[in-house]
């Protein structure tokens, strides 16, 4: 919930509600309400004002709740967007994707992956797929 995030960041900075409200330019009573989720529908301006002195931003304060992941884009069509969205929802990080993409582009990865697959099967059973063949 949004209140917890604000409170967490606030305490991490060592601010009191009064202090943060002062820095942000909102009333401390209202800030108190928001932190306790008694007001879960603040305006954009208030959110922005609160986020600033926390060195944060609205998106983070919103947390996962309101975050559909993919931007509207003319190049990435609907199918792409849903594919990526699903992947992100399943836990793919940008770092993972970048690294893996680069790995695929290289030509040395085939053997090492197969080796890794075998060895990882031996010790840890967490993986349930294995690379059989790469065709390029």
User: Minimum Å distance from CB 43 to a copy of itself?
Assistant: 5
Q: Is 14 in the site for a copy of itself (CB under 8 A)?
A: no
Q: How many CA atoms does the CB half-sphere of 43 hold within 13 Å?
A: 5
- Chain positions 45 to 74 lying near a copy of itself, rule: CB under 8 A, are 45, 47-48, 51-52, 54-60, 62, 66-74
- 5 closest CA partner among 69, 92, 86, 66: 66
Q: Is 43 in the site for DNA (CB under 7 A)?
A: yes
Q: Is 39 in the site for DNA (CB under 7 A)?
A: yes
- Say whether 111 sits in a helix, a strand or coil: helix
Residue 26 interacts, among a copy of itself, DNA, none and using kind-specific CB cut-offs from 5 to 8 Å, with DNA
d(CA 2, CA 62): 6
Beta carbons of 17 and 26 less than 8 angstroms apart: no
The smaller minimum CB distance to DNA, of residues 56 and 114, is found at: 56
Q: Is 105 in the site for a copy of itself (CB under 8 A)?
A: yes
User: Minimum Å distance from CB 116 to a copy of itself?
Assistant: 4
**CB-based contacts of 94, cutoff 8 Å, min separation 6:** none
Q: Is 32 in the site for DNA (CB under 7 A)?
A: yes
Count of residues touching DNA (by CB under 7 A): 21
- 31-46 residues labelled b (16+ CB within 10 A) or e (exposed): bbebbeeeeeebeeeb
Beta carbons of 6 and 61 less than 8 angstroms apart: yes
> Applying CB under 7 A, which residues contact DNA?
16-19, 25-30, 32-33, 35-36, 38-39, 41-43, 45-46
């Amino acid at each position: 919930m949004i209140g917890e995030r604000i409170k967490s960041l606030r305490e991490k900075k060592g601010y009191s509600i009064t202090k943060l409200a002062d820095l942000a330019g909102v009333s401390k009573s209202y800030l108190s309400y928001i932190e306790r989720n008694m007001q879960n529908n603040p305006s954009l301006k208030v959110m922005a004002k609160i986020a600033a002195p926390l060195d944060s931003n609205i998106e983070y304060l919103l947390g996962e709740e309101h975050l559909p992941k993919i931007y509207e884009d003319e190049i990435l069509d609907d199918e792409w967007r849903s594919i990526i969205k699903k992947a992100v929802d399943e836990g793919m990080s940008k770092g993972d994707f970048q690294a893996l993409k680069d790995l695929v582009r290289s030509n040395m990865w085939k053997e090492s992956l197969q080796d890794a697959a075998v060895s990882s099967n031996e010790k840890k059973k967490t993986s349930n797929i294995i690379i059989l063949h790469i065709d390029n």
